[in-house]
Amino acid sequence: MSVSVDDELWSAIGDPTRRRLLDLLLTEGEGTATGLSEHLPVTRQAVAKHLGVLDRVGLVHVAPAGRERKYRVDEVQLARAVAQLSSVGSGWDARLRRIKRVAEALERETDRNGTSP
């Protein structure tokens, strides 16, 4: 099964700070920029910007909580990302199997002929 890849989604996930934020949110259930910044070597403002990117691609949802905003992972969108990654991985596994077969065929041909390719 082939799943189309959402480049914007993967661009957002490609950043290590955003992946760490997703890990923290999955562990904690929810969090604020202030609280999350305590676990990262970046400022609260940087965390807020990263959370904004994750919000734009739908990986997190935000809800007002007094003067703060609470962020929570969208598990449906995260599952979509996992499906895309699995599909891409399967495609590369198939390509690598084909490359291996070609390399092995070349090696057998070289062994039979006693020459290098």
Domains of the chain, residue spans = 7-113
Q: Per CATH, which fold does 7-113 belong to?
A: Arc Repressor Mutant, subunit A (1.10.10)
Instruction: Tell me the per-residue pLDDT of 12-68, one tens digit each, with 9 for 90 and over.
Output: 999 999 999 999 999 999 999 999 999 999 999 999 999 999 999 999 999 998 999
Can you name the residues that pair with 70 across neighbouring β-strands?
Answer: 63
Task: Check pLDDT > 80 for residue 7.
Answer: yes
What whole-number distance in Å separates Cα of residue 99 and Cα of residue 20? 34
Instruction: Tell me the per-residue pLDDT of 66-91, one tens digit each, with 9 for 90 and over.
Output: 999 999 999 999 988 888 878 777 77
What whole-number distance in Å separates Cα of residue 27 and Cα of residue 86? 22
117 or 37, greater pLDDT: 37
What whole-number distance in Å separates Cα of residue 14 and Cα of residue 114? 47
pLDDT at 2: 53
Task: Check pLDDT > 60 for residue 1.
Answer: no
pLDDT at 112: 86
Whether the pTM exceeds 0.85: the reply is: no
Sign for the CA dihedral angle at 76, 78, 84, 87 comes to: negative
User: Model confidence at 117, in pLDDT bands (50, 70, 90)?
Assistant: low
